Amino acid sequence: MSERNLLIMGAAGAGKGTQVEFLVEKYGIPQISTGDMLREAVASGSELGQRVQGIMQRGELVSDEVVIQLVEARLGRPDCLPGFILDGFPRTAGQARALDALLDRLGREPLRAIWLHVPDSELLRRILSRGQGRSDDTEEGVARRLEVYRKETAPLLDYYAGVLAEVDGIGSIDEIRGRIEQALAQP
């Protein structure tokens, strides 16, 4: 495989951020976050950035079409030639289909998906023990976020079944990292 086009999935507290930092360094590929792309587009003042800013100022959700345009522009940058790691996108099967069509149109390798699987009880323990973070880092808030995550993610797990590696997210950072490397070494 000449490119490393990766999608990392996992609930809040699964350790995605820690593992993505390692993958960025190991493979020399950028992490692509939709949040970062939206902020960058607005800051650029481009036509697309002005559209995004208007949408966000009205409190509306940025459409899949606009997000795909942002992803396409981002993938066109030289730092993405050896690959990329997607974070926060796609969130739905519709977005995944649009992304696959985009990658095909651009002549890019298909995605490899990694799902860091951590039981809810451990996610709750991790989030509550961080002692920082969001105002909804309570048992009830975390339970709500996990329910939304399950509803959003379940269709993606099915969608990416043929290219998805489920990685046990319990253990030390190095143990989990080793499992990810093993998963990525598989054809």
The catalytic residue among 26, 77, 97, 130 is 130
- Residue 39 a catalytic site member: no
Position 131 scores a pLDDT of 64
Which residues lie closer than 8 Å to 73 by C-beta, 6 or more apart? 48
Q: What pLDDT is stored for residue 5 in this prediction? A: 96
Evaluate whether residue 44 is within a structural domain: no
Instruction: Tell me the two tokens of residue 169.
Output: 């997210």
Answer whether residue 115 is part of any domain.
Answer: yes
Residue 75 C-beta-side C-alpha neighbours within 13 Å: 25
The tally of domains found in the chain comes to 1
Q: Which residues pair with 117 in a beta bridge?
A: 168
Question: Is 151 noted as a catalytic residue in this protein?
Answer: no
pLDDT value of residue 112 = 94
Amino acid at 97: R
- pLDDT given at position 133: 64
- DSSP-derived secondary structure for the chain: ---EEEEEE--TTSSHHHHHHHHHHHHT--EEEHHHHHHHHHHHT-HHHHHHHHHHHTTPPPPHHHHHHHHHHHHTSGGGTTEEEEES---SHHHHHHHHHHHHHTTPPPPEEEEEE--HHHHHHHHHHS--S-TT-SHHHHHHHHHHHHHHHHHHHHHTGGGEEEEE--S-HHHHHHHHHHHHH--
In this structure, what CATH number is given to the domain that contains residue 97?
3.40.50.300
Question: Is there a catalytic annotation at residue 126?
Answer: no
Kindly state whether residue 155 falls inside one of the protein's structural domains: yes
Among residues 26, 77, 97, 134, the one annotated as catalytic is: 134
Assigned token pair, 174: 């190095």
Bridge partners for 116 per DSSP: 167
Catalytic residue among 112, 145, 177, 179: 145
CA distance 84 to 19: 14
Q: Which domain holds residue 13?
A: 4-33+83-185
Residue 38 included in any domain: no
Could you tell me if residue 57 is inside a domain? no
Give the sheet arrangement for strand 164-168, strand by strand. 31-33, 83-87, 4-9, 112-117, 164-168
pLDDT digit string (tens) for the chain, length 187 residues: 478 999 999 988 899 989 999 999 999 999 998 888 888 889 998 888 898 888 888 878 788 888 899 999 999 999 999 999 998 789 888 899 999 999 999 999 999 999 999 998 998 888 888 766 666 678 888 888 888 888 877 789 999 998 999 999 999 999 999 999 999 998 7
Choose the catalytic residue: 16, 74, 177, 179: 16
| Structure confidence at residue 144 (pLDDT) | 85
> What is the reported pLDDT for 23?
95
**What was the pLDDT predicted at 26?**
93
